[in-house]
Amino acid sequence: MQALRSKARELLATKTVQVIIGYASGGGGRARAVFVREAAKADALVFDDSCQQNLAVYFSKPEVRKLGKAALVATPAALRAILQLAAENQIAEGELLALAVGGDDVVPLATFAAIEAHVAARDGDWSAAEKEELQKYEAMGLEERRRFWEEQFSRCLKCYACRAACPLCYCTRCTVECNQPQWIPVPAHDLGNLEWNVMRAMHLAGRCVDCGDCGRACPVNIPLHLLNRRLIREVFTVFGSRSGRSAKGDNALSTFKPNDPEDFIQ
């Protein structure tokens, strides 16, 4: 934490960046995002296990962009988000400095290549608990799964916190907001909720960087990240690609191979 604070002070003092986007202590033992613009205030920065939010989401917020060049306190998921945003031409090289955190150390990563290398060196499989969580649902029968999700989605408020919290949901006008004709129903009734959640998952397929913020943001605790997880695995096992690993190249669903599997096609 001290390393982080002194690095932040240095970056601000030398005017290398204008703002450090990091974590500060928040309410109820939670951490919250903080935007430090003066070296003197760098002591507000913290980093511990409560710091889970993917701060890369703030790159798409105009008010934050206006603050100038930013250094971002980046969890592994945030680093992946940066790479994915770069691959989708949302961040240009040199527009930001990533401060990779983990343990007591802080590693400044100025280029996409450096971020790619950093991510690659620490890339791993899901934890046993994460795998188990997914398997728990897959082990259910089809009907049981259907009922599970019907109940979950019946609680959805359509507050779009999942969308707001997602660093990859950066569209200025979402499909749900296209209303001539109204494509996804606005009302938060059962059908509207199902269609919204299917659409959200589909539009993130091959792009989701697996930070889990959608599930964490949900005020009614729908495990939304599971949908994304399931598709991450599908994309990886079938197409062999994982998003958020490279600042270049196409997403799994905006490209193809002529010999992609098609055993399900008659």
Where in 150-179 is the site for other proteins (CB under 8 A)?
A: 150, 154, 157-161, 163-165, 168-175, 177-178
The window from 97-105, 107-115, 122-130, 133-141 that contacts other proteins (CB under 8 A) reads 133-141
> Is residue 60 at the binding interface for other proteins, with CB under 8 A as the rule?
yes
Query: Which of 2, 13, 30, 68 touches other proteins by CB under 8 A?
Result: 30
Nearer to other proteins, 77 or 217 (CB): 217
Task: Give the contacts of 109 (CB within 8 A, at least 6 positions apart).
Answer: 74, 79, 97, 98, 99, 100, 115, 118
HSE-CB for 209 with a 13 A CA cutoff: 32
For 21, the 3-state DSSP assignment is strand
Q: How many residues touch other proteins (CB under 8 A)?
A: 109
Query: Which of 91, 109, 115, 247 touches other proteins by CB under 8 A?
Result: 91
Shortest Cβ 121–other proteins spacing (Å) = 27
The window from 7-15, 106-114, 115-123, 230-238 that contacts other proteins (CB under 8 A) reads 230-238
Burial (CB count within 10 angstroms: exposed 0-12, middle 13-18, buried 19+), residue 63? exposed
* Gap between the Cα atoms of 251 and 132, Å rounded: 27
Residue appearing with tokens 């690993």: 245
The window from 75-83, 110-118, 121-129, 186-194 that contacts other proteins (CB under 8 A) reads 186-194
Nearer to other proteins, 103 or 141 (CB): 141
From the list 193, 238, 232, 195, the residue with the least C-alpha distance to 210 is 232
Burial (CB count within 10 angstroms: exposed 0-12, middle 13-18, buried 19+), residue 49? exposed
> Is residue 89 at the binding interface for other proteins, with CB under 8 A as the rule?
yes
177: phi then psi, degrees, rounded to nearest 5: -95, 0
> Is residue 20 at the binding interface for other proteins, with CB under 8 A as the rule?
no
Q: Which two tokens stand for residue 130?
A: 């994460």
The sign of the CA dihedral 11, 16, 17, 22 is negative
Q: How many residues does the chain have?
A: 266
Shortest Cβ 109–other proteins spacing (Å) = 19
62-81: which residues touch other proteins (CB under 8 A)?
Answer: 62-65
192-221: which residues touch other proteins (CB under 8 A)?
Answer: 192-195, 198-199, 201-207, 213, 216-217, 219-221
> Is residue 182 at the binding interface for other proteins, with CB under 8 A as the rule?
yes
